[in-house]
Chains A and B, each alone.
Chain A
């Protein structure tokens, strides 16, 4: 809102883009504990390279993100998910 008050910054204020409000997908489905064996769900929260998607991007709440990271690491240990690989050209 500050940008609107200053006439100099009025151009920058126009750069606002709309984004849908993010919500935690696990809270929506009412999942209490995340299982590391459910690798298909965990795969949705990793990039193609195998990196874990940060919560600020995916919108997962902190409670579930903590469990998610642990579950992904366990799944990696059991060879259900791959470790981080460099991008191939």
Chain B
């Protein structure tokens, strides 16, 4: 069963552009071997870290969105752990909370319907009084 994942990893700032490409290619290669599809590759590039890691003050960020089987992640995590230029990495399942989130949209739709109805009724019953009053005040003044 295919699931949506997001992989993010932080690379050593001393690593060259070729090394960055190598690691992204290996990750993409592992995914494509398991017949998964890479949806998006987000390269942030060099960024300052919020706190120093292994005495590095900068890091190179890349994020990859994919849709693959979960078994692939074991091999992927092992590879990322072994490579020395990777400082930190994170793997997140994205479709985890979509069901709950969809419940929220139902709630919001109801709210929007109510607000629309109230607007319509306000228009029918002459909610323009507020504006009229202001104009009246102006006219009186």
Query: Residues of A with Cβ closer than 8 Å to B?
Result: 27, 30, 32-33, 36-37, 63, 67, 74, 76-83
Contact = CB atoms under 8 A, between A and B. Distances in A.
Contact of A63 (B59, B92, B94, B104): B104
A81 B50 contact: yes
Interface string B80-104: 0000000010101010011011101
Contacts of B50: 76, 79-82
Contact of B90 (A27, A32, A78): A78
For the complex, would chain B's binding face be called helix, strand, loop or mixed by DSSP majority?
strand
Contacts of A82: 50-51
Nearest to A81: B50
Contacts, number: 39
Interface of B: 8, 10, 49-51, 53, 59, 61, 63, 88, 90, 92, 94, 97-98, 100-102, 104-105, 108
29 contacts: A27-B108, A32-B98, A32-B101, A32-B102, A32-B104, A33-B94, A33-B101, A36-B92, A37-B8, A37-B63, A63-B100, A63-B104, A67-B97, A74-B90, A74-B92, A77-B88, A77-B90, A78-B10, A78-B61, A78-B88, A78-B90, A79-B10, A79-B49, A79-B51, A79-B53, A79-B59, A81-B50, A82-B50, A83-B51
For the complex, would chain A's binding face be called helix, strand, loop or mixed by DSSP majority?
loop
A27 B49 CA distance: 30
Nearest to B111: A27
B61 to A, nearest CB: 8
